[in-house]
Amino acid sequence: MANFKGHALPGSFFLLFGLWWSVKYPLRHCWKHRQQRNRQKLPAFFSRVDLIEGVLKIFFAFVGIMAEQFVPDGPHARLYNDGWVKLMNWQHSTMYLFFGISGIADVLSVSSLPVPPRLDRFGLSLALFVEGFLFYHHLHGRSMLDSHVHTLLLVPVFGGAACTVLEVFVKENTLLEIIRSSLAILQGSWFYEIGFVLFPLSGPHWDPDLHDNVMFLTMCFCWHYAVALLVVSLNYCVVWWTLNRFSGKPIGDMEIGLRKTTDCTSQKALLQDSEEE
């Protein structure tokens, strides 16, 4: 949809998932860090969360496709009628389709079916790549301002795709997951920024050919990412503090205790050996 709502819908999708990932991955990392070495298996809670996440992806993808196809001025599932019908809406629908496929991959990954490992990461990387590929060929004939704000969007899209591809081969790398979370937040907030710039809800419209606007929006894009990094960092700190506050010993104390126990055991073993000699 070539209006503010058409940008707010995917923006909300990416903001929601980016914010959730910025909590889920630190929670999983801190939880595993707290456990003893013989208790590294994650509880069933995380699998249920992944299942819900996949179902939500499928649901949001369905809503996105329906919104693109059946708005009053949409193509209503007609691709060709004496000419191409609303190809922009069809491109957006295709983007949502692949995120729906990513949701299906999420569901299959937590099922009992013998699916390949890391299928969920591959599905997400594919969806992000398709999104970037579509947007790259989405800018022909647009004004300088319109093309620029959409070109900036390719940074978090392809950046997220690259991170997720690496996650296919590098299992549970928390840094990659946090970077992907920040890029998802950036993508969501930038979708909203595009909506406000191209379809302002109030006030004057932006001059589409003024280079100063391009310079400002480039700087604004960097500010968006700074805020995204701040949000991810704060969420990580809140998760870490909450686990320490409400689940017994702090992580540092637990590690020190484990080291002391190991040292004492080693000393006892040495004393026993010396007595036997």
Burial 43-53 (b: 16+ CB within 10 A, else e): eeeeeeebeeb
Q: Mean pLDDT over residues 1-30, rounded?
A: 90
User: Where exactly are the structural domains of the chain?
Assistant: 4-246, 250-277
Q: Mean pLDDT over residues 181-204, rounded?
A: 94
Q: What is the pTM of this model?
A: 0.85
Confidence band (pLDDT; 50, 70, 90) for 112? Answer: confident
**Res. 257: pLDDT tops 50:** no
Other CB atoms within 10 Å distance of the CB of residue 21: 21
- Residue 256 is predicted with a pLDDT of 45
Specify whether the CB–CB gap between 28 and 177 falls below 8 A. Answer: no
Q: Which residues contact 3 (CB under 8 A, 6 or more apart)?
A: 195, 199
Q: What percent of the chain is predicted at pLDDT more than 90?
A: 65
**Res. 195: pLDDT tops 60:** yes
Burial of 16 (0-12, 13-18, 19+ CB in 10 A): middle
Query: DSSP code of 43?
Result: P
Query: DSSP code of 208?
Result: T
pLDDT digits (tens, 9 = 90+) for 118-144: 999 999 999 999 999 998 888 777 889
Rounded to the nearest 5°, which phi and psi values hold at 113?
-75, 150
Q: Which H or E element spans position 145?
A: helix 144-169
Least confident of 29-33, 98-102, 193-197: 29-33
- Residue 255 is predicted with a pLDDT of 43
pLDDT digits (tens, 9 = 90+) for 138-162: 877 788 999 999 999 999 999 999 9
Confidence band (pLDDT; 50, 70, 90) for 251? Answer: very low
